[in-house]
Each structure stands twice: as C-alpha cells, then as structure tokens.
C-alpha cells in the first residue's frame, strides 16, 4: 500500500522523506515558498554513505519510486494525508501559518510522528506521572499542542546526524552519522498499523543490492526515544560555551568524566520516569559515535548564527529533574550559558548596560 506522508520541515525532514520515497510512498514537504519552488523544480538530494563504502551516495528524489512535492503551509489539506512527520525546530511552530496548519492537523486527527529533538507536549502527556504543566517554560509555543490527542502523537529518537552543507542549496542534506530513528508506538492501533508498514517497507529497500542505513525501528516502550536526551545534554548543548561553539566530539571528549556524569544523570532522570536500562544507550557506545561528529550541533550553529530561540531540551530536562528532586551543577551551567547566549543574541546585555 502506498501511504501519503506530510512532513513539516524540508531540512532534516528530507532524510525521513527520502527513506519513505525509496520505499515507494508519496511525501509532501512543508517549507518556505523559495525552498518549495526549488524542491518542486529540482527535487531533493540526500547524501548517505552505505556500509563498506568510502564515499557518500547522492540519493536524488527524482530517481526514486515515491512521488515528492513541496508545499507552503497555506496549501496543505491534512485530510489528504495518512500520517504527519514533525521535523521543524520547536520555535518554528510559532510562525502564524505553521500554527494554523498544526491546528488543522490536530482537528483532522492525523497521527503525528515527531523526529524533533524537543518532544511535543502532547507526547509528554503519555508519560505516566509526569507533571507536564510545569514544563511549559521550556517551550517557545506550548499552547499549540493542547488540541492534539496524545494517543495520536509519538516520538522518534532523532539519532541520525545530518546537516545542510553551507556551500550547497537548501535541497541538499549530508548525513554524517547514519543511525536509526527509534520510535515509540502510538497509543492508537490504526496509527501503529501504518507505522509498522513504514518500518517494514523502509527495511526492505536496497540500493544496487545493498542495504541502506537509517531505518525506523518501532518499540513498545514509551521511553526509548528519551535515550536521546542523555546524548543532547552530554554533547549537543555543551557545544555552546562562553567563548563560542565547538564540535560535538570536543564537547564530549575534552572532559570524558564530566560528559559521563551528565549522561548518567540524564539516564537516571529517564529511569525515574519509568525507562528500563534496555531502553537506553550505553555511554561508551555514544562516546564512540561522538568521535565521528566533527561539527558543532545544530543547536550550537543556531546560537552562533544569532538565533534568539532554539529547542530547549536542556531546560526541559532541568525542569523534569528538579520536579523529581534531582539537580546537577553541570546541567545548570549548560542552561545558564545558553540562556546568556540567547539573551546576547537578543541584545539584552546591551540594553542592560545602557540602562545602567
């Protein structure tokens, strides 16, 4: 069966989109008008290195069995789709046209598979015992998730590392670390049937007879996607320093003992929520993978580029930890550094100096 998948976000979303196109499904990417025009004219190109090969393959949407389209938010009719992928940075959902589209998706009761680092609040409502109302301060736009049925929202651990090469057009994505999307099941049986089909169809894809990395792996546990939190807090968010940004590898390996301490503490927070050890990724495996991550994280690149809002998983984990009675000077320091960097990007320090 061919499914019609809508994906909000054409950058990281093009990775999931390409995997679905390779499996024969139809994909529509929601993006800005200029990017939509480029994609509709030229398609997308995702570069992935296959196991045992030295060079990345250039996988072009125009050569795949599925059909690709790009749309601006106002053009989208959610009823035309079977499932929605959420691949935008969380602050982007505050744009008026996106807010309106998200409202239409919630009203249409379409299952939503998030590959965001920041879990939608509707997903967090599925975690037993979590005081979700206390977490709103970590979101730029918490209210947009109020109308969603939590059973129709699930989360992938967005472990594949990918970026847009700065010298390339916006329809090109380079995959640096081709790991899997580890998804929790929906709370809805019909949505799970679609998700299982997508998992199997992507798994069956071959390119020149070879397996293609980056799969969807579906798990019964709600807590499997939370394994990414430890990676984000030990690596991605610690790429931001008071003196600029640094690669993930340096953030993790400059002081491995501190990285392990942060990683283990975040794992402990997830376990206090209900995660089992088998839901999590050992620190040694993550530290080994981080050796390959030679660029600053997307969060760090956004801060360095002058962003005033980013996804705040660091603050989310801090708030959850505090509610559980767990505190960490290292996490508090990370949150403080990022708060200061975003304030500086907003011009707040300059304003305070002028008023003083």
Give 296-322 pLDDT, tens digit per residue.
998 999 999 999 999 999 999 999 999
Q: Which of 203, 164, 198, 180 is nearest to 46 (CA)?
A: 164
In the predicted model, what is the mean pLDDT of residues 149-154? 98
Q: Which of 180, 121, 172, 123 is nearest to 10 (CA)?
A: 172
Are residues 254 and 153 part of one domain? no
Domains of the chain: total: 2
SS3 content of the chain, % helix, strand, coil (to 5): 50, 15, 35
What local confidence, expressed as pLDDT, does residue 349 receive?
A: 55
Listing DSSP states for 235-299 in one string gives: IIGGGEETTEE--HHHHHHTTHHHHHHHHHHHHHHHHHHT--GGGS--HHHHHHHHTT--S--HH
User: Is-contact 112 120, C-beta < 8 A?
Assistant: yes
Q: In the listed set 176, 197, 219, which residue is the last one of a domain according to the structure?
A: 219
* Residues forming a β-bridge with 244: 241
Tens digit of each residue's pLDDT (9 = 90 or more) over 155-175: 999 888 888 888 999 999 999
What local confidence, expressed as pLDDT, does residue 166 receive?
A: 86
Are residues 256 and 211 part of one domain? no
Can you give the pTM of this predicted structure?
A: 0.93
Indicate the length of the chain as a whole number. 356
Confidence of residue 353 (pLDDT cuts 50, 70, 90): very low
Residue 26 is assigned to a structural domain of this protein: yes
Residue 192 is assigned to a structural domain of this protein: yes
The mean pLDDT value of the chain amounts to 94
Task: State how far the Cα of 320 lies from the Cα of 24, in Å rounded to an integer.
Answer: 40
pLDDT score of 68 more than 60:
yes
What local confidence, expressed as pLDDT, does residue 158 receive?
A: 86
Task: State how far the Cα of 99 lies from the Cα of 96, in Å rounded to an integer.
Answer: 5
What local confidence, expressed as pLDDT, does residue 257 receive?
A: 97
CATH code, 303: 1.10.1040
What local confidence, expressed as pLDDT, does residue 354 receive?
A: 32
What local confidence, expressed as pLDDT, does residue 145 receive?
A: 96
Q: In the listed set 170, 194, 219, which residue is the last one of a domain according to the structure?
A: 219
Q: In the listed set 162, 191, 219, which residue is the last one of a domain according to the structure?
A: 219
Domain that holds residue 293: 224-351
* Residues forming a β-bridge with 85: 7, 113
In the predicted model, what is the mean pLDDT of residues 7-14? 96
């Amino acid at each position: 069966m061919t499914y019609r998948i809508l994906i909000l976000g054409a950058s990281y979303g093009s990775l999931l989109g390409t995997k679905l196109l390779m499996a024969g499904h139809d994909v529509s990417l929601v993006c800005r008008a200029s990017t939509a025009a480029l994609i509709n004219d030229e398609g997308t190109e995702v570069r992935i290195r296959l196991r045992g090969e030295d060079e990345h393959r250039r996988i072009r949407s125009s050569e795949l069995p599925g059909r690709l389209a790009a749309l601006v938010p106002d053009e989208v009719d959610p009823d035309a789709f079977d499932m929605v992928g959420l691949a935008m940075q969380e602050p982007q959902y505050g744009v008026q046209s996106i807010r309106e589209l998200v409202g239409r998706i919630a009203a249409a009761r379409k299952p939503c598979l998030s590959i965001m680092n920041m879990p939608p609040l509707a997903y967090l409502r599925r975690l037993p015992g979590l005081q979700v109302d206390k977490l709103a301060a970590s979101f730029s736009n918490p209210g947009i998730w109020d109308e969603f049925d939590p059973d129709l929202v699930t989360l992938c651990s967005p472990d594949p590392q990918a970026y847009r090469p700065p010298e390339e057009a916006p329809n090109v994505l380079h995959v640096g670390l081709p790991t899997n999307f580890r998804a929790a099941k929906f709370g809805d049986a019909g949505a799970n049937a679609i998700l299982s089909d997508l998992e199997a169809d992507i798994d069956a894809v071959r390119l020149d007879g070879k397996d293609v990395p980056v799969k969807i792996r579906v798990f019964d546990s709600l807590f499997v996607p939370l394994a990414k939190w430890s990676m984000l807090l030990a690596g991605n968010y610690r790429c931001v320093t008071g003196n600029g940004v640094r690669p993930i590898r340096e953030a993790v390996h400059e002081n491995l003992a501190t990285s392990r301490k942060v990683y283990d503490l975040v794992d402990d927070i997830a376990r206090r929520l209900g995660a089992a050890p088998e839901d999590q990724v050992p620190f040694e495996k993550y530290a080994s993978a981080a050796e390959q991550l030679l660029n600053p994280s997307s969060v760090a690149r956004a801060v360095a580029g002058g962003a005033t809002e980013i996804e705040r998983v660091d603050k989310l984990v801090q708030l959850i930890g505090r509610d559980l009675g767990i505190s960490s000077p290292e996490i508090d320091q990370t949150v403080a550094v990022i708060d200061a960097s975003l304030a500086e990007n907003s011009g707040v320090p300059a304003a305070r100096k002028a008023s003083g």
